[in-house]
Amino acid sequence: MATDKTNLQLVVNGILNENPIFRLVLSMCPAVGISTTVMNGFMLGIAVLFVQVCSSCTISLFKNVIHPRIRIPTYTLTIATWVTVIDMVLAAYLPEAYAKMGIFIKLIVAFAIITMRLEMFACKESVNASFWDGIGMGLGFMFGMMALGFVRELLGMGTILGYDVLGFKPLLFFVLPFAGFFCVGLMMAFFNYIEIVYKRAKRA
């Protein structure tokens, strides 16, 4: 079974239609835990993008030799291997960013989104399609994290990427760690609202 979507459609699908954070509601832990700044979201996004693309390609490459009964353990070990790689690379070359993200880099291994994509997509499709699907999912995650980070950094600190934009701090509340829950909840409600308004406009 091969997908009939073009590469571009696969990427866009990951970013919009099946955005991991806002549409599939998966991988919520980092979305709440470390989305305080745009930079944090970007860094973790890069890491997830790397792991997703590499694992997707690996599984797609070996899909014919993996016995269906042991496929889940195989996925887990593949992901764990790639997470170890990115964990060591970040610890060596970007120790500051690595310290900020703490345990979440290692926990990429347990992100439901990656296993889900392997199970739903990579184990059936060609390496090429899996690669672009991985890119789409990774970018979708990254954009979700950066959108959250954008709102929280702008409202909480009045800055974007560390540059002072507003000149004052509107709501310090948003940078406090627990505000992640409120922020995600409010953004989801906002998207729901847009959807409701859109449907109403369509019907009328």
Partner 1 sequence: MKTSTMKRIVLLLAVVLALPVLAQAQELIAGKSFGKAKNEIVVTFAGDVDRATVENPANYRVYEEQDPDIKLDLVRVALAPDQKTATLTFKEPLNTRVPHVVSISHLSESGAAATFKVMKPYLGYLFSILVSALLINNFVFTKYLGLCVFFGTSKRKDTAKGMGFTFTMVMVVSAIMSWFFYQFILKPYGLNFLQIVVFIGLVSLTVQAVDTVLRKVNPALFNAFGVYLVLVIANCVIIAVPLILADNEYNFLESFMLALGAGGGFLLALYLMSSVRERMELANIPATFKGVPIAFIVAGQFALAFLGFSGLTLF
Residues at the interface with partner 1 (CB under 8 A):
25-30, 32-33, 72-73, 76-77, 80-81, 83-84, 87-88, 103, 106-107, 109-112, 115, 177-182, 184-186, 188-190, 192-193, 196
For Cα atoms 111, 138, 54, give the angle at the middle one, nearest 5 degrees. Answer: 80
Buried b / exposed e across 78-92, counting CB within 10 Å, b at 16+? bbbebbeebbeebee
Task: Name residues whose C-beta falls within 8 Å of residue 1's C-beta, 6 or more positions apart in sequence.
Answer: 124, 125
Q: How far is the CB of 80 from partner 1 (least distance, A)?
A: 4
CB nearer to partner 1: pick between 80 and 94:
80
Q: Cα separations (Å) of 138 from 2, 7, 56, 191?
A: 21, 14, 11, 21
Instruction: Return the number of the residue (10 or 86) whose C-beta is nearest partner 1.
Output: 86
Distance of closest approach, residue 115 Cβ to partner 1, in angstroms:
7
Contact 13, 91 (CB under 8 A): no
* Amino acid identity at 35: S
CB of 151 to partner 1, least distance (A): 14
Cα distances (Å, whole numbers) of residue 45 to 20, 115, 140 = 12, 16, 9
Q: Measured from the CB atom, is 11 or 145 closer to partner 1?
A: 145
Nearer to partner 1, 87 or 154 (CB): 87
Phi, psi for residue 35 in degrees, rounded to 5: -90, 30
Nearest CB to partner 1, comparing residues 9 and 173: 173
Largest CA distance in the chain: 59
Q: Minimum CB separation from partner 1 for residue 49, in Å?
A: 18
Q: How far is the CB of 82 from partner 1 (least distance, A)?
A: 10
